[in-house]
Amino acid sequence: MTRIVVVNPNTTAAMTEGIARAAAAAAGAGTQIEARTAAHGPASIEGYVDEAYAVPALLQAIVDDRSTPDAYVIACFDDTGLDAARCLADAPVVGIGEAAFHVATLVAHRFGVVTTLARSVATIEHNLLRYGMASRCSGVRAADVPVLDLHVPGSDARERIGSQIEAALRDDGADGVVLGCAGMAGLAAELSARYGVPVIDGVAAAVALAESLARLGLRTSRLGPYAPPRDKPYAGRFGGIAPWRQR
């Protein structure tokens, strides 16, 4: 049995439930998914400030975890706290943004990204450069949909997302699309059928890659930047994330 813990770094339980369903649907028969919601922080992650406030609870969830999973998935497309989490976790940590980009390069020559709000575009573009995948991306488009609206009955979120997919295919030269928000998990199959191109959901991609890492017995390197942090005092509100577990 492979156990994957999926951490939603925001505090919206309904979003965690949707993420859990998408993760379970993507998982193999021998994989158990455990989805967790951040204990404190923003209700959604939309920009740099939300991201910064979300990181302490994310790290706390990993440090406090004694369930010894085979892998973690961070269910925020900005890959919030990904590098720090890799320093702390005993198991591999996969971000849904990075996972989606990797999978997209295997099924499309150039992929477009459709995210929620315009303020998220810069973060995604930065991550594409950092991961060395900017040349494979035709562009990042925002559907002008607040994250929480993705779960509001009767909202026009799907229509807005669809219009940006159409524009990415028509105007940007994309032949595949990455959905740039964990809240869009579960839409990929429907949108792929509608537009006739591969549409990649980062949650599903991350679960598949996490399963592969577990099956291969691979763990995060402890040389270089992913080495555990040095022991030192951590004071203030989030001081509980220290001391670090010994490895």
DSSP 140: E
* H or E element at residue 157: helix 157-171
DSSP 79: -
Residue 238: per-residue pLDDT = 57
CA 207 to chain CA mean position, Å: 10
Residue 211 contacts by C-beta under 8 Å, 6 or more apart in sequence? 2, 4, 27, 28, 31, 71
Predicted TM-score of the model (pTM):
0.93
Quick one: which of 21, 20, 64 has its CA closest to 39? 64
Give dist(CA 226, CA 169) in Å, integer.
38
Q: Mind listing the domains of the chain with CATH numbers?
A: 2-96+205-241 (3.40.50.12500), 97-202 (3.40.50.12500)
The answer to whether residues 108 and 176 touch, using CB atoms and an 8 Å cutoff, is yes
Running along the chain, 247 residues long, what does each successive block of 10 average in pLDDT? 96 94 95 96 94 94 90 97 96 98 98 95 97 98 87 82 97 98 90 97 97 96 92 68 48
Residue 64: per-residue pLDDT = 87
The answer to whether residues 46 and 116 touch, using CB atoms and an 8 Å cutoff, is yes
Give dist(CA 202, CA 146) in Å, integer.
18
